[in-house]
Chain A
Amino acid sequence: MMRGAVAIFRRDMKKFISNPFVILMTLFIPIFYLVIFGNAMGGTITGIHIAVVQAEPYTIETPLFTQATGALREFRSAPDKPPTFQVTVFPDEERAKQALADGRTSGAVIFPSDIEKGGAVRVYEDSSDYMVPAIMEGGVTAAVASTGAQNPVEFNRVYGKIEYFQFFGVGVIVMAIFMTTMMGGAFALIRDREQGIIEGYLVTPVKRSSIILGIIGSGTVRAFLAGFIIFIVDIVIAGIVVRTTEQFLLVLLVLFVSSIGVTALVVSVASRFNTQQEYASTVAFFNLMLFMTSGAFYPVQGMPDWLQWITVINPEYYTVHALRSILIRGQGMEVIGTDLIALVIFSVAAIILGITTYKRTIE
C-alpha cells in the first residue's frame, strides 16, 4: 500500500515542481488577497466630495458657515490621516443638489441664511453608498459642534435607507457575469487547445478574428443570462426596486455591454494559454482583483490611491457604478453614459487584444 501511495505522491510532486508558473500564481493569489483585502476593507475612507452652501436669502457669510466649513475641511478620522472630506463651496442650494443628484458629490450641507441664524443645518446624503452617510453624519455634527453653535442638524438620506443587502446585491450581479465568463467561452478555448481539438480547426480557412469573436459571442450570451438571473434574484429577495420600463431596459443594456467587456477581457487573457491550470490560476487572480476593486461590496473611496487607480481600468467598476446609479439612485442615461462609454472602449480594446494575441499556430 505504501509503495503505491509514495508513487502517487512522487508523481504529483514532480508535476507540481515542473510548472513554475502555476506555483507562482498560487502563491501570488493569497498575497494579493492580503494586500487588497487588507487595504480595501481596513482602509480609512477619505476625500468624500461634499458641497457646502449658505441658504438664500444671502447677504453676508455667517460665522457658522465659515467656521463649520473650515472644520469640515480639517476633519480627520485620526490625526495622521488625510482629511475625510473634500469640501466645495457652491453658490446656491439648487446647484449643490444637482451635483448630488448627478453623483458628482456624495453630500450637500446647507447652512441656514444669515436672517435665520438659529435655523437647522440641512444635510443631504447620497445614501446609495453604504459607508458614506454614517461618516458624513459624524463629520457634520462634529464640525457644527466645534463652532459652539446650537443649530440643530437635519439629515436627509436622498435615496432612503439602503440596506447592505441591496448595496451588495447589485455588486453580486457583476460577480455572476465574471464567474460565468470564467467557466464559459474562454474555458472552451483552453479546452480545445489542451485536448488538441484546436489542431482540427486551425487547418481550416477560419480566421482568428472569427474564432475570437465566436468565443466572445457565446460567452457574452451566457454571461448576460447569468447576470440577468441574479438581477431577477435581487428583485425578488434583496428588495431592489425597478421603477420604470426605461430603468429595466437600461439595466439590460448595462448587463449586455458589461458581459461583452468582461468576456472579451478573459478571452484575450486566455488566448495565450495552453493549459487549464495556467488559465485557471491567472483568471482567479483577475477575478479577485477586478471584483475587489469594483466597489461591489466596499466603497472605492476607502481604498488607497494606488488601488483606486485600478478601478479606472476596471470594467466591473463601471458596471457596478452604472447599476447602482440606475437601481438605487434612480438615475438615467445622463449619469451612466460615461460608464457605458468606458465599457465600450474597454470591450473594443479587449477584443482587439484578444484577436492580435491569439496564436494561430500550435507552438
Chain B
Amino acid sequence: MGEEEIIRLEHLTKVFRNKETVTAVDDVSFTVRKGEIFGLLGPNGAGKSTLIRILTTLLMPTSGTATVGSCDVTGDPEGVRSIIGVCPQNSTLDLELTAYDNLDFYGRLLNVEEGILAGRIGELLEVAGLSDRANSRVSTFSGGMRRKLEIVRAFLHRPLILFLDEPTIGLDPDSRFEVWQQIARLNAEETTIILTTHYMEEAERLCTRIAFMDKGRLIALDTPENHKRALPAGDLIDIGLGRMDERAVAAVRESGLVTSLEVKESSIRIHARNGSSVLPAIIRIFERFSIPMTSISIHSPSIEDVFIYLTGRKLDSGNGEPAAPQKGRGRRP
C-alpha cells in the first residue's frame, strides 16, 4: 500500500442470495488517498451503501479484498473498527436517550478515555449546534438535528477515516448547508472522508474525487473537473425558436461551431465546447434567416450531465435495486 493510500479495494464483489440473486457490488477496484473527501455517487440501488457496509465490516464481501488503513476487512475487522467513524444512512440514534447520553454511550463503545469524554461530548454538541438541547431526548429532535448529532457521533474518537452514507438525505436546504459546513470542518482536521450521495450538488461541492457507481459497478473515477472535461459534448445551449427552419438549422450544423445539434418541437439543443464564446455567432445565423428566438439558455456541464453521459439515465431516477435486499429486516422511516 502506497504512503498516500488509505483504502484499497481489489475486485470487490457482493452477491445477495435470497429469493432472487442480486449482485449489489460487482468487481469494484479503486483506492482512496489520505485526507481526501471521496464521493461515491450513483442512483438508489447502485451499490453505494453495500460498499460502505463492507468497508465498515457490517457485511462480508463475497469475493475480492478491501483494506482500510492497514487492516483487511475480513481478516482484521476489529482493526478496521478502531480507526473508522461511521454515520449510516438510516438513523441509528437511540431515540429514547438524550443527545448527551447517545454520545456518552458511543464514547464508551469507541474507547474514548474516561477523562476526556465529557469534554469531547461538549465540544461536539457545540459543533452540531445542539449544546442547549444536550439533555433532551432525541425523539424530540428534527431530522436535521438528528443528522448533525449522528455525524458528530461518528467523530467522537477522531477516526482516521469517516464514512458518511447519504449524510443529507431528506434534509431541508438550510440543514443540508449546515451539514456540508460540518463535513468540511471535519475534513480540515485531516480526516479522510468517504461520502455516498445521490445529490450531485453535494458531491460537486465537497468531493476531491468522485467515483460513479451504477448497478453495482464502478463506471468512472476522477476529480469533478476532469469528469466534466471528459465530456465530449462540452456546454449545452438551448434555444427556443418561433418557427423551425431547416435551412437555418443546417447552417448552424455546418458552421463548425457545434459538436452536435438536436432538433426538438420548438427548440434546438446544441452541444458546443466553449459555449459562451460561440453563442453570439449562432445567434447571428438565426437572425440572418429572420427566425425569432423565444429563449436562450446556456449551461456548463454538471456532475449530473456526466452521469447521464456515462449511463444514459438521470441520477436520481431511482430505478435500481434496494441497497441490501434482506428479508425481514425492518427499516426506520
Instruction: List B residues at the A interface (Cβ < 8 Å).
Output: 53, 56-60, 77-78, 81-82, 84, 86, 88, 90-94, 106, 109-111, 153, 324, 326, 328-332
User: B59 — which chain A residues lie within 8 A by C-beta?
Assistant: 361-363
Which residue of B81, B111, B326, B329 is within 8 Å of A203 (Cβ)? B81
Which residue of A has the minimal Cβ distance to B331? A196
> Quick check: A204 and B81 within 8 Å, CB to CB?
yes
Least CB distance, A281 to chain B, in whole angstroms: 13
Q: Are A194 and B329 in contact (CB under 8 A)?
A: yes
A200, B93: Cβ atoms under 8 Å?
yes
- Tell me whether chain A's interface is mostly helix, strand or loop, or mixed: loop
- Chain B contact surface mostly: loop
Chain A contact residues (Cβ within 8 angstroms of B): what range? 20 to 34
Chain B hits for A200, CB < 8 A:
86, 88, 92-93, 106, 153
Could you tell me the distance in whole angstroms from the C-beta of A195 to the nearest C-beta in chain B? 6
Give the residue of B58, B110, B153, B328 whose beta carbon is less than 8 angstroms from that of A199. B58
Q: Is the CB of A205 within 8 A of B92?
A: no
Within 8 A of B (CB), among A157-214: 194-207
Does A218 belong to the interface (CB within 8 Å)? no
Chain A residues engaging chain B, CB cutoff 8 angstroms? 19, 194-207, 274-275, 278, 360-363
Contact between A363 and B330, CB atoms less than 8 A apart: no
Contact A205 B53 (CB under 8 A): no
CB pair A203–B56 under 8 Å, yes or no, is yes
Residues from chain B with a CB closer than 8 A to the CB of A360 are 77
Query: Do residues B328 and A204 form an inter-chain contact, with CB atoms below 8 A?
Result: no
Separation in Å of the A11 CB from the closest CB of chain B? 15
- B-side contacts of A19, CB under 8 Å: 328
Is B331's CB under 8 angstroms from A361's CB?
A: no
Q: Could you list 7 examples of A-B contacts with CB < 8 Å?
A: A199-B88, A200-B106, A205-B82, A205-B110, A206-B109, A275-B330, A363-B60
- Kindly report which residue of chain B lies nearest to residue A200, judged by CB atoms: B92
Tell me which of B60, B110, B324, B329 contacts A204 (CB under 8 A). B110
With contacts A199-B92, A201-B106, A205-B78 taken as known, whether A274 is within 8 angstroms of B329 at the C-beta atoms is yes
Q: Are A361 and B60 in contact (CB under 8 A)?
A: yes
Partner of A196, one of B60, B82, B330: B330
- Given A202-B57, A203-B58, A205-B81, 11 more A-B residue pairs with CB atoms under 8 Å apart are A195-B330, A195-B332, A197-B92, A197-B93, A200-B106, A204-B109, A204-B110, A205-B109, A206-B109, A275-B328, A362-B59
